[in-house]
Amino acid sequence: MTTIQATYRLVRYRPWLFFITCLLWSTVHASPVIVGLIAKAIFDSLTTASPAGFDTWTLLALMIATMATRLTVMVFGVHAWSTTFFTLGSLLRRNLLAWIVAGPGARKLPDSPGEAVSRFRDDVDEVLEYVEGWTDGGGILVSTIVSVAIMFSIHPMMTVMVLLPLVGMLIFGNRVGGRIRRYRKATREATGRVTSFIGEVFGAVQAVKVNSAEDRVLDHFRDLNAERLRHAVKDSLFSEIFRSVNINMVNIGIGLVLLLAADAMRTGGFTVGDFAMFIYFLQRLTWHMFFVGDMIAQHRRTGVSYERLGELLDGATIDVAVDHNALYLDSTTPALPVVRKSPSHRLDRIDVRGLTYTHPTTGRGI
């Protein structure tokens, strides 16, 4: 199961909740297009380029109403996303824990229990961050398409200059995707080793004291943290370089656009309102381009997290982690059946004849 397939199955656990969350945040991300059009009308109303229609005060009132509506929708969107976040996160953790403790046969962990805790915490959160990108993607896509269409109708050359950095970011993201994946996996594994060692130390305090091994334990702990620091610095540095390249490519595009806008305004083919709307849309598109580049990197990181979660599912695939099961987050858990014991339940004797069992992994048994 691919990263997209696993995430799609995960969000289908509460399809209406996910749909409402996407709808609310799509409204939040798409509404700035209306604000940009109103800003254009306001600046044009102050010049001779203003067409017949609403006066300046009416347009200002419309802008305030639009922004107030957007803020209200954002409040509901935060509540919807919080519910989605805790619901899907609880489902992942519930399925992982259920397979480990209640699945058929003995389930061995890939490492120590402490290292498994880091997977339950960090890797599940990484998947949920990827889901958050899905909730934002629809509104950002609509806003981008409408904004680019409006800008292209005003000045095609400027619009092309805006789109060039986006293409560059996509190419750059695909080229460095493998490196992002390797660095993130190394960081996660180093964090897991530190967490695992902490758990082992707390579980063997008496053995450490009896053997007077405090100094050796501390030295090993420092070595593990130093290794984790190296991987974390490398991961963070490369991520920041990736972000900086994206931002600088966008800034180059914005500089070229401003040069073209100045020339167009001198020739009279570009109004003050057009310029104001263009700058406003550029600010939004800059963030949209950064979002696209970040989602490419996040897709790679989420793939690593799914792999690490899959390692907890001994004898199963990642399908088990995204399986749909009851959570009882907002309802009372069903009562467990209580069987009253009677003398007939007492075991007095058991006879076994011809017993044979062979362990599937080692081939040994009795």
SS3 for 332? coil
Separation of alpha carbons 292 and 190, rounded Å: 28
Does CATH number 3.30.565.10 belong to domain 3-326? no
By C-alpha distance, which of 220, 217, 219, 199 is closest to 209?
Answer: 217
d(CA 47, CA 271): 9
Q: Dump the DSSP string for 272-288.
A: HHHHHHHHHHHHHHHHH
Q: Between vectors from CA 97 to CA 94 and to CA 99, what angle results, nearest 5°?
A: 105
Q: Cα–Cα distance between 263 and 36 in angstroms, integer?
A: 22
* Reported pTM: 0.72
Nearest CA to 330 among 86, 93, 128?
86
Q: How many CB atoms lie within 10 A of CB 109?
A: 15
Give the contacts of 67 (CB within 8 A, at least 6 positions apart). 35
pLDDT tens track of the chain, all 366 residues? 788 999 999 999 999 999 999 999 999 998 888 988 888 888 877 775 555 456 778 888 888 898 899 999 999 999 999 999 999 999 999 999 888 887 655 566 777 777 788 888 888 999 999 999 999 988 888 888 888 888 888 888 878 877 777 777 777 767 776 777 788 778 878 887 888 888 788 878 888 888 888 888 889 889 999 998 998 888 888 878 877 776 777 677 677 777 777 777 777 677 778 878 877 887 787 778 778 877 887 888 888 889 888 888 877 788 888 999 888 888 777 887 888 888 887 888 888 888 888 876 667 777
The one-letter amino acid at 177? G
pLDDT value at residue 86: 93
Count Cβ atoms below 10 Å from residue 283 Cβ, excluding itself: 12
Residue 83: per-residue pLDDT: 93
In this structure, what DSSP letter does residue 227 have? H
Residues in the chain: 366
- What's the pLDDT score for residue 19? 94
The answer to whether 250 and 290 are in contact (CB under 8 A) is yes
20: amino acid identity, one letter: I
Q: What per-residue confidence (pLDDT) applies to 361?
A: 63
Measured CA to CA, the distance from residue 200 to residue 197 in angstroms comes to 5
Q: Where are the domains of the chain?
A: 3-326
pLDDT at 91 (0 to 100) = 94
